[in-house]
Amino acid sequence: MREPDGPPGAPDTGPSRPTDFAAEAGYALVSALAEGLVAVDDQGVIRVCNPAAQELLGRPASELIGSPFGHPLVGGRSTEIDLVQPGGGTRVVEMRASTTTVSGQRLHLAVLRDITLQRRTWEQLEAELDVQGTLIAVMAHEIRNPLAGIGLLIDMLRDPSEDLTADERKETLDRVADRVARLQSLADRLLTAARTGGRLPHPPREAVPVLEVALQCLADLGERSREAHVYCDAGVQVLADRGELAEMLVNYLQNAFRYGAPPIEIRTTDADGVVEIQVCDGGPGIPEEFVPELFERFTRAKGIQRHTDGSGLGLWIVRRLAQANDGEAYYRPGKPRGSCFCLRLPQAPK
């Protein structure tokens, strides 16, 4: 039985109590606390709760007193709990537990502090830091290939033994300028993404000849291109951003050379308005248990970290770029061995 806190019909604003264990001074102290306070007996039943606790728990004292608290109380330790409100909302509460004795009866005290706003602020900050970290990682990964190509071309221009003609020198300078333009475009897009919450703006798509881009990518890979074979009809075109298609193929080719083995093959098929591009190798293939993680960020199969300098971002970038071009990136085992990394992209209208 409860002792009434006031005249009939009066609002229930103070902590409710049975008369068998608490003194009026104790209840005055509980009511004065700004934080929520719940007192629970050894059976886990609520015996006292102040107005702040009623507000946090979303229930009046008449419902709380005599009901199970439902959360374990470990003295001397602070924990976070998610409180589901009667209306369906959720509050995050920090709970500090201790034990005391009131009028000879042991009570477990839970001091409750609403940290919902704090938690949301931290989650938002963590999300923003994750976006910024991703942008930095993407930039570091994406600038490596154009910079390497620029370095090779500049070495060629500096080498007196090359004896380049005027046309060859102009062509080399044009290739340097093209890579510089790609870097400038990437920097602009990443800066825009940083201002807009991490979403990369997408450049306009055009009809891109796959064979031309594939040969350009192989040229950028230098002597390693000798080990590659291309099987692609000159008329096959995809509707995509040219620079992003090149980036996807370069990532696939680098993986093939880094983790696979010759022969390295680029193949294309087209049907029903879709072009499939395959980059296959004759290496050991991908462990079956790792396949679901292939296109995730910062993931690499066990056993390769010591032998290569990859960042674990390449395939994740390929998937993002493929999706941005209304396509998909995926893997299938090679036959009879090896790996095939594939792209499916819209075929350009003929």
pLDDT tens-place string over residues 103-150: 888 888 888 888 887 777 776 666 665 656 666 666 666 676 677 677
Q: Per-residue pLDDT tens for 21-75?
A: 444 434 444 444 468 888 989 998 998 888 888 888 888 888 889 999 888 887 7
Return the closest-CA partner of residue 204 out of 316, 325, 350, 347. 325
Which architecture, in CATH terms, is 116-201?
A: Orthogonal Bundle (1.10)
Strand pairing category for 206-209 and 339-346: unpaired
Residue 89 structure tokens: 């909302």
Is the model's pTM score more than 0.85?
A: no
- Asked whether residue 20 carries a pLDDT value surpassing 50, the answer given is no
Instruction: State the pLDDT confidence band at 201, using cuts at 50, 70 and 90.
Output: low
Return the CATH number of the domain spanning residue range 203-350: 3.30.565.10
Read off the pLDDT band of 4 (50, 70, 90). Answer: very low
What is d(CA 290, CA 294) in angstroms, rounded to the nearest whole number? 6
In this prediction, residue 137 carries a pLDDT of: 63
Specify the pLDDT at position 27. Answer: 42
- Report the C-alpha gap between 32 and 52 in whole angstroms: 9
Percent of the chain residues past pLDDT 70, beyond the cut: 72
Residue 173's CB: how many other CB atoms inside 10 A? 13
User: Taking the domains of the chain in order of start, what are their residue ranges?
Assistant: 24-114, 116-201, 203-350
Is domain 24-114 given the CATH code 3.40.50.720 in the classification? no
pLDDT of 178 over the 60 cut: yes
Half-sphere exposure at residue 248, Cβ-oriented, CA atoms within 13 angstroms: 31
Check pLDDT > 60 for residue 283. yes
- The pLDDT value recorded for residue 29 is 41
Q: Does the pLDDT value for residue 312 go beyond 60? A: no
pLDDT (mean) for 76-103: 80
| The pLDDT value given to residue 246 | 87
Does residue 327 have a pLDDT over 90? Answer: yes
Helix (H, G, I), strand (E, B) or coil at 122: helix
Instruction: Give 167-232 as a DSSP string.
Output: HHHHHHHHHHHHHHHHHHHHHHHHHHHHHTTSPPP-PPPEEEEHHHHHHHHHHHTGGGGGGEEEE-
What does the alpha-carbon distance between residue 256 and residue 27 come to, in Å, rounded to a whole number?
73
Task: Please check the confidence at residue 250 and state whether its pLDDT lies above 70.
Answer: yes
- Say whether pLDDT at 308 is over 90: no
The pLDDT of residue 311 is: 44
Structural contact between residues 202 and 324, judged by C-beta atoms closer than 8 angstroms: yes
What pLDDT was estimated at residue 297? 63
Of the pLDDT bands very low, low, confident and very high (cuts 50, 70, 90), residue 163 is confident
Q: How confident is the model at residue 194 (pLDDT cuts 50, 70, 90)?
A: low
Q: What is the mean pLDDT of the chain?
A: 77
Give the range with max mean pLDDT: 164-178, 211-225, 257-271: 257-271
Tell me the longest C-alpha to C-alpha distance in the chain: 105
